[in-house]
Each structure stands twice: as C-alpha cells, then as structure tokens.
Amino acid sequence: MSTPTYCSLLAAAAREPLAGTASHGRGCIVVAYPKRLWGPNVLSAEGLPVALVDALVDAQERFDVVTRFVAGDSAERTEITFYPAAVRFSDVPIEAAADVVTGYVSGSLTRGELVTRPMLLTCTHGQRDRCCARFGLALMDAMRACENVGAIDVREASHLGGDRFAPTVMILPSGHVYGHLTPEDAPLLIEAARGGAPLLARFRGSFWRDVRAQLADVAAFGLSREGEAPPTLSSIDVTELDDTHSELSFRASWADRSQAVRVRCVREHRRVYGDCRAADAKRTGGLDAWRIENVST
C-alpha cells in the first residue's frame, strides 16, 4: 500500500506564504449538524431540508454570507449562530431553520441570544480532505486538554478554505484565520481567541477583509509588542502603483499608541496543490496571490 500524500505537508515544505490566504465574506452562518451526515460539500449533507439549503445558498449569493457547519448532536434540531453580530438561535427544529436564516439575513427576525464567548472553529472535515481529519483532530485533542479551554467555545467545523494549510482555524467574531498550526500551539491559540496576542507566524488573515486588505492586519500584527493584543485598524486606503504593485495606507491603534502604516504589496502567480486529491494526481493549479514586499511607518 502506498503512503498517503498530504497537501498540507507539501505546502509547508514549499514554504507557501500564509499571509493573505484566508477566505472572506461579509457574514458567516454557523449551523450545528451531525458530522456523520456531512458530505464533501456540507450543503449536500444527508437529511438536510431543501428549503434550508436554498436559504443558505441565497444568503451567500445575495449578501456574501457564507455557511460553516459545526458538529452537532441532532439532525432534528439545530443551533444557528450569525456573525459578526454573534446572535444565536438555539434548539431550532430543522424544518424551521430556513425561516430563521431567511428572516435574520433579511432583517425581519431580530430576536436571538447574544453570544459572549468566542467561538473557535477547527476544520476536521475529513470527508472533504484527509489533511483536515489528520491534523485538525490532533489540534482539537490538544485544545480540549488545555486548562483554559473553558473560556472559549471550541467546535469541530466543516471546510474553512485552504485545505493545504491544515490544520486551519477560524475564530469568531474576530474573523482571524490561522493555518499550519501544531498541537503545541493550542494554549496560545486559545489565548489569542480570548483577545490576546495573535500567532503571527500562523496567521492567514481576517475573514472580514478581502485578500489584499488581509495583509494590513498581518503587517500591523507584526508591529505589535510581544504579548500585546492586536491593534484596531482605521479604514484601509489602496493605491494602485502599477499592474502588479499596490500600497495599503492605514492607521493602527493599540491601547497606548497609534501609528500610521504603509504596506507595499506585490501580486504574484503561484502553482499549488490545492488539496490532497490534487496532490495524489500530481496536479497543480494556478492562482494569483498578494504578498507583503515592504512595511513602513
């Protein structure tokens, strides 16, 4: 029997940059549903009502609100949490879930429970990619063993984008996305979820920003002092310098100071193994990505 190929190990060995690789959207709907019923695409999960699938697809197409599943106990009743507002609807009959999604996204449904505990999603979606199962589950085990895990809501999640960066994590409501984590990162990751210092070497970007603007967060985090909570950023101005270069200008503010920052970015073309299936077939795909060239203050 041949040894399995892991796209995450290939990407790490190739030193593919993490910065600016997070998926992004204007909102995120987190739906609890039994993991044993997930398929490679969670919207084709066994037993999922057609009306709910339609509502989730409509939310993405009309409002750029994406769906992530978390492992749940019941296929009959679900929990639905909307971010960035962090509003939750618990114990929803699965047949009524479409009305909750449509009502909240359209603004006609405003009640719900405000979620105060950060949620940490770890992709363990092995039905989609073997890297997510192997590396994501190991990270989950490490986090569950941490003394400070009770401060956050740790969940096994469906695909978060970027199988080749497994294990991948998204923290909500901050939207911070991480990749190539190790079990040893678990304690610091939990502290980051609680608002502590981010893991800069593992940081991919913020889900709430587009790919290029994610590099502003990366640059600002790099200017933070050791152990310092992440800064807030002003609006990001983008100047196109030429066909392949641009400059991001913004102000980063920490608890005790504020600083003007400029980030020069370059667009480059990369060949990557997007997932384990592509790695098995030795089939690379091309993509355009932005990389930080210079940071000035």
Q: Residue 154: name the closest of 119, 126, 188 by CA.
A: 119
Domain 27-114 -> CATH class: alpha beta
How would residue 2 be classed by pLDDT, with cut points 50, 70 and 90?
A: low
Does residue 40 register a pLDDT over 80?
yes
Place of tokens 């507002």: 85
Does residue 1 register a pLDDT over 60?
no
How would residue 4 be classed by pLDDT, with cut points 50, 70 and 90?
A: confident
Specify the pLDDT at position 60.
97
What would the mean pLDDT of 56-81 be, rounded to a whole number?
97
How would residue 110 be classed by pLDDT, with cut points 50, 70 and 90?
A: confident
Mean pLDDT of the chain: 96
Specify the pLDDT at position 3.
72
Tokens linked to 285: 């795909």
pTM of structure: 0.96
Number of alpha carbons in the 13 Å side-chain half-sphere of residue 286: 2
d(CA 83, CA 113): 12
Share of the chain above pLDDT 90, in %: 96
d(CA 170, CA 68): 10
What are the boundaries of each domain within the chain? 27-114, 210-297
d(CA 47, CA 33): 10
d(CA 131, CA 138): 11
Query: Could you report the per-residue pLDDT of 143-187, keeping only the tens digit for each?
Result: 999 988 998 999 999 999 999 999 999 999 999 999 999 999 999
What would the mean pLDDT of 2-15 be, rounded to a whole number?
90
SS (H, E, C) the chain: CCCCCCHHHHHHHCCCCCCCCCCCCCEEEEEEECHHHCCCCHHHCCCCCHHHHHHHHHHHHHHCEEEEEEECCCCCEEEEEEECCCEEEEEEEHHHHHHHHHHHHHCCCCCCEECCCCEEEEECCCCCCHHHHHHHHHHHHHHHCCCCHHHCEEEEECCCCCHHHCCCEEEECCCEEECCCCHHHHHHHHHHHCCCCCCHHHEEEECCCCHHHHHHHHHHHHCCCCCCCCCEECCCEEEECCCCEEEEEEEEECCCCEEEEEEEEEEEEEEECCCHHHHHCCCCEEEEEEEEEEEEC
Query: Could you report the per-residue pLDDT of 117-141, keeping only the tens digit for each?
Result: 999 999 999 999 999 999 999 999 9
What would the mean pLDDT of 249-262 be, rounded to a whole number?
97
